[in-house]
Chain A
Amino acid sequence: MQATRPERGSARSRRCFQVLPAIAFAALLLVPGCGGSGGSPAGTQAGQGPKVTVMARSVPGVGQVLVTSTGYTLYLFQPDGRQTVTCTGVCAGTWPPLMLPSGGVAVAGPGVKSSLLGSDPDPAGGRVVTYDGWPLYTYVGDIQPRQATGQGIDLNGGAWYVLRPSGAPLIPAP
């Protein structure tokens, strides 16, 4: 049995933003879970609004890395360059970004430094949770928690890596 994956809701919100300009109301029907996300800035006081928790956990094959509150591995996209969300459109179908809900706040779970959490605007709308400047994404190929099947994959225009709690990407030696 698979664990529930609430972050998928965030991905759906992103889908709405991508689709809305093109097909407006139809997208609301097409994509379940569509809802407004006003792009709340990072740094909202803890305790206010919905929370998105990032935590550290040991994942087989890659060790201690950042994961969602439900244990799904988080990745960085190298072309983002620690400063901007570049995985949009079709890319975000494969790598759903970890969205910050409207008025929400990113919370540091066990093993994670709250000082490294933040958010970046998503060109498709809303904000994406960042860690040490890196926008965070999940991978649809990870069908259950504690998998990192996207580690080291070169896809959608660049490489994808898991992150250590220090914020360092796990880049394999050549």
Chain B
Amino acid sequence: MTAPEPRGPRRVGRRAVLLGGGGLAASVAGAGTATRALTRPSAAAPDPSGVIPPDDDLMREHGVLKRVLLCYREMIGRVQAGGPLPAEDLHDAALIIHDYIEGFHEGLEEGYVFPRLRAAGLLTSTVTTLLVQHARGRVITQFLLARATPAGVASADARAQLAAAMQAFDRMYEPHEAREDTVVFPAFRQIVPAAELADLGQHFAELERQQFGTDEFTAMVARVAGIEQALGIYDLSQFTPQVSQYSPQA
């Protein structure tokens, strides 16, 4: 395993992030800017205002969700291997889901994206399933948050229950977000005229600012990166496989 990058994340408390504090948020701001540029579809004309289109915004929030799912997966693996379950990491991860994904991201989908699709008669069955899954996910998150304490992870039975809950969450949200990214958001983009999309992107940004202050996305990325580092899964290179056995010469 290689050494952490010089400007890698360190753990940032939720309070510090919500208060807009911590040098970390500022230190990764450049990375956040780069992400914005990279996630913009090449087909869309660049918006000189810098406002991210709403579907792009939702997709990059999915990136945060995906990274929490990876944290859950790491913790599931540890429990299944008979190891301890870090209560603080679990709590921090579930709190990101609770505050940012369930309390914000999904509210945008439920308030702006799904109603528009339903009104257009598009993907109605899919939308219904997505709504049910949001509701089920919230139940699981509440379960995780209530038990993510040192006492709550003390017994093997309790850890197994938590691992099963995380597994159910991962199992549901991996296809959930993939379907939204590849089917739901493109359909939404197709039915909403470009000018409206731009206005809605601005409105999403304003809602984010109201709820989390400025640079909320960067702050969330920093928070999840801190959990990854605590779990030892931040270094991306560790996931690169050896491929000698697959090479044509093997």
Q: Is A32 a contact of B119 with CB atoms below 8 Å?
A: yes
Q: Determine if A171 is an interface residue (Cβ-Cβ < 8 Å).
A: no
Q: Determine if A146 is an interface residue (Cβ-Cβ < 8 Å).
A: no
The segment out of B75-83, B164-172, B176-184, B201-209 that lies at the interface is B201-209
B125-176 interface with A by 8 A CB criterion: 128, 131-132, 134-135, 138-139, 142
The B contact surface, by secondary structure, is: helix
Q: Is B131 a contact of A143 with CB atoms below 8 Å?
A: yes
Q: Is A26 a contact of B195 with CB atoms below 8 Å?
A: yes
Q: Is B131 a contact of A32 with CB atoms below 8 Å?
A: no
Contacts of B202 in A (CB 8 A): 22-23
- CB < 8 Å: which of A29, A140, A150 contacts B110? A140
Q: Is A15 a contact of B131 with CB atoms below 8 Å?
A: no
Q: Is A32 a contact of B196 with CB atoms below 8 Å?
A: no
Q: Determine if A155 is an interface residue (Cβ-Cβ < 8 Å).
A: yes
B200-229 interface with A by 8 A CB criterion: 200, 202-203, 206-207, 210-211
Q: Determine if B235 is an interface residue (Cβ-Cβ < 8 Å).
A: no
Task: Please name the residue on chain B nearest to A88 by beta carbon.
Answer: B210
Q: Is A23 a contact of B210 with CB atoms below 8 Å?
A: no
Q: Is A22 a contact of B138 with CB atoms below 8 Å?
A: no
Q: Is A26 a contact of B138 with CB atoms below 8 Å?
A: no
Min C-beta distance of B55 to chain A, whole Å: 14
Q: Determine if A30 is an interface residue (Cβ-Cβ < 8 Å).
A: yes
Known: A32-B116, A141-B135, A143-B132. A90 touches B200 (CB 8 A): no
Q: Complex formed: what's the CA distance from A12 to B118 in Å?
A: 12
Q: Complex formed: what's the CA distance from A33 to B142 in Å?
A: 34
> Which of A12, A22, A141: most chain B Cβ within 10 A?
A141
Q: Determine if A91 is an interface residue (Cβ-Cβ < 8 Å).
A: yes
Known: A93-B107, A93-B110, A143-B128. A15 touches B199 (CB 8 A): no
Min C-beta distance of B239 to chain A, whole Å: 33
How many residue pairs bridge A and B at CB < 8 Å? 91
B108-124 near A? 1/0 per residue, CB < 8 Å: 11111011100100000
Q: Determine if B103 is an interface residue (Cβ-Cβ < 8 Å).
A: yes
Task: Please name the residue on chain B nearest to A22 by beta carbon.
Answer: B203
Q: Is B207 a contact of A23 with CB atoms below 8 Å?
A: no
> Which of A2, A89, A93, A154: most chain B Cβ within 10 A?
A93
Task: Please name the residue on chain B nearest to A140 by beta carbon.
Answer: B110
Contacts of A89 in B (CB 8 A): 107, 207, 210-211
Q: Determine if B37 is an interface residue (Cβ-Cβ < 8 Å).
A: no
Q: Is A19 a contact of B119 with CB atoms below 8 Å?
A: no
Q: Complex formed: what's the CA distance from A91 to B106 in Å?
A: 10
Known: A31-B115, A143-B131. A94 touches B207 (CB 8 A): no
Q: Is A154 a contact of B199 with CB atoms below 8 Å?
A: no
Min C-beta distance of A35 to chain B, whole Å: 14
Q: Complex formed: what's the CA distance from A8 to B200 in Å?
A: 20
Contacts of A140 in B (CB 8 A): 110, 114, 131, 134-135
Known: A23-B200, A26-B196, A93-B108. A141 touches B115 (CB 8 A): no
A-B contact pairs, 7 of them (CB 8 A): A30-B116, A30-B192, A32-B115, A94-B106, A94-B110, A140-B135, A155-B98
B-binding residues in A (CB < 8 A) = 2, 8, 11-12, 15, 19, 22-23, 26-27, 29-33, 89-94, 139-143, 149-150, 153-157
Given contacts A26-B196, A89-B107, A156-B103, 5 further A-B contacts (CB under 8 A): A23-B199, A32-B119, A93-B109, A94-B134, A140-B114
